[in-house]
Amino acid sequence: MIEPLRVLKPAWVPAGILLATALLVWLGRPLPASLAGLRTAGPWALLACAAGLAWWFNRGRALVVGASILFGFTVFLNYSPKAVYTAIAVLVPLNALAAMLRPEQGARHGAALPWLVLLAAEAGFLWFILKNPQLHSVVDHWLLRSPPLPLAGRLVFAAAFAAAVWRAWPEFPPAQVANAGALAAFYVAMEWGAAPGAHAAFIAAAGVILLAGVLHESHRLAFRDQLTGLPGRRALEERLRSLGSSYVIAMADVDHFKSFNDTHGHDIGDQVLRLVAGRLAEVGGGGTAYRYGGEEFSVIFAGMTAEQAKPHLEAVRRAIEDYRMAVRGEDRPKQSKEGEKRRGEAAAAKALSVTVSIGYAAPSAGGEPPAQVLKAADQALYRAKQGGRNRVSA
């Protein structure tokens, strides 16, 4: 139960924003007269900021979703024919669906230009509808209108939302989760198209969700190591600044990693780093693992003594030593039966093991700064290497 909750953690923010918006709409408290302009300016500003940040941080899909909702909201505010509402309800999720089906190409260096051309073409299409009232009934009929949201809009939205969830699976990156959340907010907003306050509230929620997702994603990329999924060096430095007076810092290094890398190749070396990172991430005692750089990792135990931390370090060292890693070669067969046969024949040859050396240190009564304790842990790691590797040393 804990693992699904951890994996779905990025979805908590969009879900919370949607629930808070629904609560505000249910309470139904109108804005003061002096703030009435926020009903239109607020959602517009939030979506514009979300689209701008998506462009700045090179998140192509978030830019398409934000710009499309902003486009639809702007048109809906200024033009009242039902055919315009119907067209927006279909075009916005259709744009999102197209973005989800295409590979992520970013937003900068000209990648956003085709989408801007598409929005301009859709604006021309809506202008054509507005200038030809006789087309309104045709649009409503052709798009299978079923108030308040056209059936075609519901179908396209369902496809776009499913594609957004598919793109988020299985790692659920915050920006991609935000795309799905923003689409959900847009859907509710269009269902409440006849209620200006509720419509504006959920459009604003879409902007907030996109903003939070893009910012969260940017923070994740800056502070988390891409290869191993562990917090990176920058996150470690931030953590060191916030440590109290009682803590333990450990440094771990993969034994003989260079020769291992040279023998088996960099792809297998990356598998080894992910294996070690996965075991270190499960260290007991409330320890937090970080990738320090290369084949080195750090573990911090806050509020612990060296004696308390050592058993947990020994346990994780043994877990890494006892694990047998199955190497998947480039000639791996596509047929499962053939693969099982080969694995049975070459299991011993293809199973590799790896060990780590660990050094740890804690501040003395003098209260050295964390940087000095980290250096002491690195020296302890050197002693573990000198002592024969595959051991824990203080």
Would the pTM count as exceeding 0.85?
no
pLDDT by residue for the chain (394 residues), tens only, comes to 445 555 567 788 999 999 999 998 888 776 666 565 677 889 999 999 999 999 999 999 999 999 999 999 999 888 766 778 888 889 999 999 999 999 988 888 888 899 999 999 999 988 887 887 766 666 656 555 555 778 888 899 999 999 999 999 888 889 999 999 999 999 999 998 888 888 999 999 999 999 999 999 888 888 888 888 899 998 999 899 888 889 999 999 999 888 888 888 888 888 899 999 999 999 999 999 999 988 999 999 999 999 999 999 999 999 999 988 776 555 544 444 444 554 454 444 467 789 999 999 999 876 788 999 999 999 999 999 998 899 999 8
pLDDT at residue number 4: 57
Q: How far apart are CA 91 and CA 86, in angstroms?
A: 9
What pLDDT shows up at residue 53? 93
CB 95 within 8 A of CB 71: no
SS3 call for 300: strand
Active-site annotation, residues: 295
Asked whether the beta carbons of 294 and 252 are under 8 A apart, the reply is: no
Q: What pLDDT, on a 0 to 100 scale, did the predictor assign at position 327?
A: 64
Residue 295 pLDDT: 92
Q: Is 130 exposed, middle or buried (0-12, 13-18, 19+ CB in 10 A)?
A: middle
Q: What is the pLDDT of residue 333?
A: 47
- Report the b/e string of 374-392 with b at 16+ CB within 10 A: bebbbebbeebbeeeebbb
